[in-house]
Amino acid sequence: MKVSDLLKNSEFKCLNPQIGVEGEIKSGYVGDLLSWVMANAGNECAWVTIQTHVNIIAVATLLEMACVIIPEGAEVEESTLERAIIEDIPVITTGLNAYEVCKILGNAGV
Amino acid sequence: MSYELAFEVERGDFETAGGASRKIKKTLQQLGISSKIIRKVSIAGYEGEMNLAIHSWGGTILLEVAETEIILTIQDSGPGIPDLHLAMTEGWSTAGVEARRMGFGAGMGLPNMDRNADHFEIESKVGNGTKILMKFFL
């Protein structure tokens, strides 16, 4: 599925909609320990993390992720969004928890 | 083909840390290096960069691209690692509360570097600092 397909679900909102959301989500990954994510997440994945600081964009950029999904309504720092716009990484927020996000991704064939 | 690029990383600079790794990645893309190798260099470079920000008193990252290999040298001026064997053990970390709050301190930085590089060398002396040399074969 594409990031734009995920955004058709009203549970998800892109916090930097000025960038492209046509990237393909090829896999999903959940994790908050950045080194663990660096070691194990796949390229072009949707990464679900409760971390909201600017370094998540560094990790997402280096791994060429499709998007970052922040669950449970956690507030994202402004510096994170600024960096995400520069690096072209969609940052998506949702009130759902990580498990519920994964169910939606899985049901969509990711 | 030979190319060199150096970066300074300051202690505690979590906000801009990751910048050197991004530039390294972009440079390698411009040089036409394969995406598989870029991923390995990027991960190792980022771990090194974050280690400089979290643990060192500041240091440098040197990228060298030669005909048959990419070399990353990460060097700091201290404080040095008292027990290298322990530091290389997955899950062991001395990262502080702030770094852990941000998702660092998993104790995977050095092991991740070792895993991604084709050749990994580390030397450290308390009081003198740490030097890591990584090679990625093209």
Residues of A in contact with B106 (CB under 8 A): 33-36
A34, A54, A58 member nearest B21 (Cβ): A58
Q: Which amino acid is at A66?
A: A
Give tens-digit pLDDT for B22-71.
999 999 999 999 999 999 999 999 999 999 999 999 999 999 999 999 99
Greatest alpha-carbon pair distance for chain B in Å reads 44
**pTM to 2 decimal places:** 0.90
Inter-chain residue contact A49 with B39, CB threshold 8 Å: no
Q: Which of A45, A62, A83 is the best mutation test for B, with the most CBs of B within 10 A?
A: A62
Give tens-digit pLDDT for B76-125.
998 999 999 999 998 889 888 888 888 888 888 999 999 999 999 999 99
A36, A53, A57 member nearest B108 (Cβ): A36
ipTM of the prediction greater than 0.90, yes or no: no
A39, A53, A55 member nearest B108 (Cβ): A39
Query: How many domains are there within chain B?
Result: 1
Inter-chain residue contact B17 with A61, CB threshold 8 Å: no
Q: Report whether A58 contacts B21 (CB < 8 A).
A: yes
**Complete domains list, chain A, with CATH:** 3-107 (3.40.1390.20)
- Residue B13's pLDDT is 81
My answer on whether omega of the bond before B79 falls inside 30° of 0, hence cis, is: yes
pLDDT band at B2 (very low <50, low <70, confident <90, very high): confident
Q: Report whether A101 contacts A17 (CB < 8 A).
A: no
**What does the DSSP assignment read for A3-67?**
HHHHTTSTTEEES-TTS----B--EEEE-S-HHHHHHHPPTTEEEE-S--STHHHHHHHHTT-SE
Residues of B in contact with A55 (CB under 8 A): 14, 17-18, 50, 102-104
Q: What is the mean pLDDT of chain B?
A: 93
Inter-chain residue contact B103 with A55, CB threshold 8 Å: yes
Residues of A in contact with B24 (CB under 8 A): none
**What does the DSSP assignment read for B52-114?**
HHHHSS-EEEEEEE-SSEEEEEEEE-S---S-HHHHTSTT-----HHHHHTT--SS-HHHHHH
Rounded to an integer, the average pLDDT of B1-20 is 85
Give the distance from residue B131's alpha carbon to the nearest chain A alpha carbon, in angstroms.
Answer: 20
Two tokens at B89?
């053990």
Inter-chain residue contact B14 with A35, CB threshold 8 Å: no
The domain containing residue B112 runs over which residues?
3-137
Residues of B in contact with A43 (CB under 8 A): 35, 39
- Residue B101's pLDDT is 85
Two tokens at B55?
């643990």
Low-confidence ranges of chain A (pLDDT < 70): none
- Residue A5's pLDDT is 97
Inter-chain residue contact A33 with B103, CB threshold 8 Å: yes
- According to DSSP, the β-strands at A67-70 and A91-94 are parallel
CB neighbour class for B90 (10 Å; exposed up to 12, middle 13-18, buried from 19)? middle
pLDDT band at B12 (very low <50, low <70, confident <90, very high): confident
Q: What is the CA radius of gyration of chain A?
A: 12
- Residue B17's pLDDT is 73
- Residue B130's pLDDT is 97
Under 8 Å CB-to-CB from B66, ≥6 apart: which residues? B1, B2
Give the distance from residue B79's alpha carbon to the nearest chain A alpha carbon, in angstroms.
Answer: 22
A53, A61, A62 member nearest B102 (Cβ): A53
Domain containing B11 — which CATH number? 3.30.565.10
- Residue B1's pLDDT is 57
